[in-house]
Structure 1
Amino acid sequence: MTLYYSLVFLLLMAEMALFMVLILPLPFTIKRKLFTFISENPIVAKLQYGLKITFIFILILFIDSVNRVYRVQVELSQAAEGSNAGQIMGHERLEVQARKFYSQRNMYLCGFTLFLSLILNRTYIMILDVLRLEERVKKYEGTTDKNSKDSAKLAEAGGAGEIARLKREISKRDQDIETLKKQASGLHKEYNDLTDRISQQDSTVKKDR
C-alpha cells in the first residue's frame, strides 16, 4: 500500500474511533461540555478546515481508483474475448487480477472514508440538536443547572444560519435608525431656522410699533 493510501486508512480508523466516541452513552453534562469544546476550540476549527481539503484529495483518489477498476475490467473482458484467451491463464492473468484487486481495494477504502465522513457530520449535527432540545426541556422544567452558558453557546454553534439572519436584521434596523436620526436632525435644524425667523419677525414688529 502506497503512502497516501496508508494515510487514508489511518484517517478511516480515526473516523471509526471518533464515531464510537460520539455514540457513547455519556451523561448529559459531560456530553454538553465535550460538544461545546469541539464547537468553540479554534484548533478544532482549523483541523476541520484541513480535513475538508483532505477529503477533496480523497475524492480525487476515489475517482482515480474507480477509473482504474473500470480499465482493468475492460482489459480482462477484451483478453477473454480475444483469440488468445487460453494464453491469459498464466502470469499475465495473475498480474491483471492483482491490479484489479488493488484497484478495488483502493476504491472501497476511499469510498468508505468519504461515506463515513458524511455520517460523522450528520451525527454531529443531530447530537447538537438533541442536546439543544434536552436543554430546552430542562429549562421548561426549571431544572437548568449552572452551565446554561455552555448550552447557549452550543445552541449558537448549531444555529449559525439563524444567527446570521438575526445579524442581517440588526444591521437593517441600525440603518433605519441612522436614517431616522438624519431626518430628526434635519427637522431640528428646520425648527431652529423657523424659530429664528419668528423671533426676527417679532422683533421687527415691536420696532415698528
Structure 2
Amino acid sequence: MSIQWTIVAGILYAEVAFVILLVLPWIRPTVWKKIFNSRLIKAVSDKSTIASYSTIFVLSLLFLDAARECAKYSHSTLLDNSVLKGAADVDTAIHMRLFRSQRNLYISGFALLLFLVINRIIGLLVRSAQLQASAEAAMKQAESATHTAKTLMNSEDGDNENVKKIEELEKELIKVKKDRDAMKDQAENLAKEYERVSDLVAKYEDGKVDKKND
C-alpha cells in the first residue's frame, strides 16, 4: 500500500473510532457540548474550515481515481481481451491491480462517508444539548411561576392587583408549558434523527467488515 493510501486508511480507522465514541449512550450531549465549546476546540475549529473542505476535496478525488482504476482493470475491458486470455501471469497481475483498486475505492469511500457523518452527528449532539438546556430552563421558570401564583393565592390580601398578577402568572405558566412541550417534541425528533444516523453508521461499518472478509 502506497503512502497516500496508508494515510487514508489511518484517517478511516480514526474516524471509525471517533464515531464509536460519539454514539456511546452513556456520554450525554451536554458533555459533548462542553467539550466542543471549550477554548481549545473553538481555537481549532475556527481555523479548520479550509482544512475540512480540503479533506473532502482530496478524499473525493481519491475516490474518483479509485473508481477509474476499478473500471480500467475490470473484466469487461481487459480480461476478455483475446490477446491476454492465454497469459496467466498477465491475468494474475490484472486481478491484483483490480483488487487493489477496489480496496482503495472502499477505503476512500468509507473515509469520505464517515467524515460527513461525523459532522452531522456533532451537529445533532450540540442541538440536542441546547434543547435540553432550554427545556430545563423552561421547567425552572414554570416551577417559579407556579410557586409565586400559589403564594399570592394563599395570601390574605385579595385586592385587584394580586388578582391581576395571578392572571398574568397563569398566562405565563401556560405559555411556558407550551414552549416546554414544543421543545420536548423537538428533542424527541432530534433523538430519532440521532438514532437513524447511528444505525446508518453501524450498517456501513458492518458492510465494510463484510467486504473485508470477502
With normalisation by structure 1, the TM-score equals 0.60
State the match for 1:132 in structure 2.
Answer: 130
Query: C-alpha displacement at 1:77, in angstroms?
Result: 2.6
Pair 54,6 (structure 1): closer, same or farther in 2 beyond 3 Å = same
Aligned 1:76-115 pairs, distance under 5 A: 76-84=75-83, 86-88=85-87, 90-115=88-113
Pair 136,47 (structure 1): closer, same or farther in 2 beyond 3 Å = same
Query: C-alpha displacement at 1:36, in angstroms?
Result: 1.6
Aligned 1:103-182 pairs, distance under 5 A: 103-142=101-140
Query: C-alpha displacement at 1:97, in angstroms?
Result: 0.1
Whether 1:67 and 2:68 are equivalent positions in the alignment is: yes
How large is the Cα RMSD of the aligned pairs?
Answer: 2.3
With normalisation by structure 2, the TM-score equals 0.58
CA deviation vs aligned residue, 1:14-57 (integer Å, no higher than 9, x gap): 11122122222224553331122289621233245313212211
Whole-angstrom CA distance in 2 between matches of 1:28 and 1:42 = 21
State the match for 1:34 in structure 2.
Answer: 35
Of the two structures, which has the highest relative contact order with CA contacts closer than 8 Å and spacing of 6 or more? 1
User: Which stretches of structure 1, 4 residues or longer, exceed 4 Å deviation after superposition?
Assistant: none
Pair 66,28 (structure 1): closer, same or farther in 2 beyond 3 Å = closer
* Residues 39 and 45, structure 1, Cα contact 8 Å, conserved in 2: no
Counting aligned pairs with the same residue, the percent is 24
Whole-angstrom CA distance in 1 between matches of 2:21 and 2:46 = 18
3-state SS, counterpart of residue 27 of structure 2: coil
* Residues 68 and 103, structure 1, Cα contact 8 Å, conserved in 2: yes
Structure 1: 5+ residue stretches without partners: 144-209
Structure 2: 5+ residue stretches without partners: 142-214
Whether 1:11 and 2:11 are equivalent positions in the alignment is: yes
